[in-house]
Amino acid sequence: MTGRRAALAGRIPWTLVVFLAAATVPWIGTRYDTFLAAQIVIDALFAVSLNLLLGTTGLVSFGHVAYFGVGAYVCGILMKTYEVPFVLAFPAAGLGAGLFALVSGYFCVRLIKLYFAMLTLAFSQIVWAIAYKWNEVTGGDQGLPEIPYPNLDWMSALPGFADLRIGDRFYLLTLVLVAASVAVLGMITRSPFGRMLTTIRDNPERAAFIGLNVRAYQLAAFVVAGTFAGFAGALYGLFSRGVFADYVFWSKSAEVMIITILGGMNFFWGPPVGALALVWLNQQITAYTEYWPFMLGTILLVLLFAFPGGLVGGLVTGFRLAVRRLARSDA
């Protein structure tokens, strides 16, 4: 009985269910719901990209926002200043972020542990300083407001899409691009390349002595993670209709790390769950108190002590316990 129930649950394509549920938000939710959903979806991609470093490769990057920021600025500048269409600006954002990750990562992977973390932070502060000071290109402390939305008029031709606002359409575009990006990151994580990254996480010394060039693999992971952070940044700039130096500030790196750890960095689906939880918590708490950072800190402390594996870790443990108890009561 339990076995059959479990097998049935295993056969449901859960990712597809979640994707379809998320896609219905513009029709069944309010405008504000769509706004929140877009934020969750973009944060999810950003955190999944970080987790390729954190959970899979064992690299603690404190400067992941640098690549998010480079992506946001590349896409924003191309679309606003040069009127480049989104279909070109979006890939360019990933490319720019990936190239910057290649250059900065080349230096970062030469250091280990805390020194690696500090150097990633240093690179992200360099990006922030450039964003803040280079008025002609980045708009400096004024930022780049009023970035145009991509042209999504073609969506009107789809059944049911004619009445959707531009914000709703952009959310759906974001959802599709994020889903595709997360699918690619999932493929990479489960591939032989991803397996090599986990050996480096567990034991870099031993990984070298199964024949791996550890630094080259770490750099490759760094570039992939940076590229997808760049995609997330590009979407975020368009979603918030502007790119500002704040987006590249180091506290944003801390936020994405909180999302990843809260959701569970040992699980591929941890970061998206963390993104959902953090945005939801933010909503709930700000409705009651203005001391939101204090409350969040307390909640995080409790959660991380109760579920060291994050929310997904807690769910998995709970599910296993429930299955075991059911099996026992069946017998």
Q: What is the DSSP string of 171-193?
A: HHHHHHHHHHHHHHHHHHHHSHH
- By C-alpha distance, which of 56, 118, 106 is closest to 265? 56
According to the binding rule CB under 8 A, does residue 199 interact with other proteins? yes
Encode burial over 24-42: b for 16+ CB neighbours within 10 A, e otherwise.
Answer: ebbeeeeeeebbbbbbbbb
**Span of 13-21, 41-49, 191-199, 305-313 interacting with other proteins by CB under 8 A:** 191-199
Helices and strands: H and E segment counts in the chain: 16, 2
According to the binding rule CB under 8 A, does residue 313 interact with other proteins? no
According to the binding rule CB under 8 A, does residue 211 interact with other proteins? yes
According to the binding rule CB under 8 A, does residue 317 interact with other proteins? no
Number of residues that bind other proteins (CB under 8 A): 25
CA–CA dist 227, 312 (Å, integer):
25
According to the binding rule CB under 8 A, does residue 203 interact with other proteins? yes
The interaxial angle of helices 2-11 and 310-330, nearest 10 deg, is 150
Among 195, 320, 324, 325, binds other proteins (CB under 8 A): 195
- Which of 20, 187 has the CB closer to other proteins? 187
Q: Which residue has the tokens 């969506």?
A: 155
How near is the Cβ of 145 to other proteins at its closest, in Å? 38
How near is the Cβ of 155 to other proteins at its closest, in Å? 31
Q: Kindly report the backbone phi and psi dihedral angles of residue 323, in degrees, each rounded to the nearest multiple of 5, phi listed first.
A: -60, -45
According to the binding rule CB under 8 A, does residue 54 interact with other proteins? no
- Which of 115, 209 has the CB closer to other proteins? 209
According to the binding rule CB under 8 A, does residue 60 interact with other proteins? no
- Which of 83, 205 has the CB closer to other proteins? 205
Among 146, 153, 205, 330, binds other proteins (CB under 8 A): 205
- Which of 247, 269 has the CB closer to other proteins? 269
Q: Kindly report the backbone phi and psi dihedral angles of residue 97, in degrees, each rounded to the nearest multiple of 5, phi listed first.
A: -65, -40
How near is the Cβ of 203 to other proteins at its closest, in Å? 5
Close Cβ partners of 174 (under 8 Å, ≥ 6 residues apart): 38, 41, 42, 235, 239
According to the binding rule CB under 8 A, does residue 227 interact with other proteins? no
Among 5, 133, 190, 325, binds other proteins (CB under 8 A): 190
**Span of 33-41, 88-96, 154-162, 194-202 interacting with other proteins by CB under 8 A:** 194-202
Whether residue 43 contacts residue 259, with contact meaning beta carbons closer than 8 Å, is answered with yes
CA–CA dist 267, 63 (Å, integer):
21
Rg of the chain over Cα atoms, rounded to whole angstroms, equals 21
Among 202, 280, 298, 308, binds other proteins (CB under 8 A): 202
Encode burial over 209-221: b for 16+ CB neighbours within 10 A, e otherwise.
Answer: eeebebbebbbbb
Residues in contact with other proteins by the rule CB under 8 A: 187-188, 190-196, 198-199, 201-203, 205-214, 217
